[in-house]
Amino acid sequence: MDYLVGFNISPILWTKLPGSKSAGRVQSVSLKLITEREHEIELFNPEEYWTLTGNFTNTDNKNIFSKLVFLDKKKIERFSFRNKTEVDEAINKINRSKFKIKDINSKVHKRNPLPPFTTSTLQQTASSKFGFGASRTMQIAQKLYQGVEINGESTGLITYMRTDGTQISQEAITEFRDLIISDFGKEYLPDSPNSYEGKKAKNAQEAHEAIRPTEIRRKPSEVQKYVTSDQLKLYTLIWSRALSSQMQPAEFYRNSILISSKDNVINFRANGSVVKFDGFLKVYEVKETDEDAKNILPECTIGEEVNVIKILDEQHYTEPPPRYSEASLVKKMEELGIGRPSTYASIISVLSTRGYVEIFNKRFFPTDRGKLISAFLEKLFSKYVDYNFTAELENQLDDITTGKEGWIKVLEMF
């Protein structure tokens, strides 16, 4: 099948677009993703919008940083203020008003641990945490899987690194649970093991379990002297993610304070959170994307008067969609069910070695040749670079593997 697509379309490219090397089935589709994104960025028109935040103090002179959520009983949306004039009007109205605390809310919010790594989540996380490319991640993982020399013996440190499965063997779970009790205490251990179904990738290969250490008691500090610094980084990441997946959720107090004008037409809200119990975060750090999580709120009472210290207005412009990084391209291909996690690394490297894309600041930019090829294929062979066609083909290949479909019949249909 790949022969029919690649070997029939590639020679056309050689004659029509000299210097073009190939048009592989999955590679052409990933190039299409990158060039489409570039096109979106070129057509993008930024729009101006403004945001308002208020700094209040309570009777104890403690600061409360909050966002404007209602003005004249209208909910504040992203484009509520489109220019400086509109914002200045709002600020004047706010400065003429008196404020008090209308409501205080505190909820316990749980954050569940993340599942252990599959091939694509490992590639994405290693890319965002360490800046490793997909192929580099796979090379390091391959070495950890094949084994490193420990006390004169070659020892495999992780399970097979090409997998879509998030399940862990019963035997390993028992060892994980023992370690959690002995090293962290009973309160970190859930009553029963955590299991992760997750959304199934379209062409999941779940015969293998998730990527985990072969021996959870082999801590990163113990393997440090046998491995390179990059291998240690990746092993530590796999070790902590696997172990944390079997721990208790983290718990936070989510606090929110509603500040209202006396006539009730203007509302500001301040959100903040405090860790109540660290749970799995003790082992695996999660980057906090939520700004409110860093905001610690003072003690207040309902009805307490607060004073406006400063109203801050900020101008923003909408941003075009970001160019793909290796991690986001892998994620997108996985969502579309295109290609196999084990092949993503090689597909991505082919695109750059053939000069179809360039990489600046870890982002993909299609070259002129890449754009030309993509447009050529889209115009004349639109069926073969269609996302659904490629994903559907993966499904048929799976059916052939499991014996549901005859390969000759699939080829004849093609």
Joined together, the tokens standing for residue 387 give 């996302």
- The one catalytic residue in 160, 196, 226, 253 is 160
DSSP states of 376-404:
HHHHH-TTTT-HHHHHHHHHHHHHHHTTS
Residue environment code for 83-109, b if the CB has 16+ CB neighbours within 10 A, otherwise e = eeeebeebbeebeeeebebbebeeeee
Q: How far apart are CA 149 and CA 308, in angstroms?
A: 65
DSSP states of 326-395:
HHHHHHHHHHHT-S-GGGHHHHHHHHHHTTSEEEETTEEEE-HHHHHHHHHHHHH-TTTT-HHHHHHHHH
- Contact assessment for residue 247 and residue 222, using Cβ atoms and an 8 Å cutoff: no
Q: How far apart are CA 259 and CA 68, in angstroms?
A: 9
49 vs 55, 87, 168, CA distance in Å? 20, 10, 48
Q: Is 160 a catalytic residue?
A: yes
Joined together, the tokens standing for residue 300 give 């207040």
Q: How far apart are CA 304 and CA 36, in angstroms?
A: 54
Q: Around 128, how many Cα atoms within 13 Å sit in the side-chain half-sphere?
A: 13
Residues labelled catalytic: 160
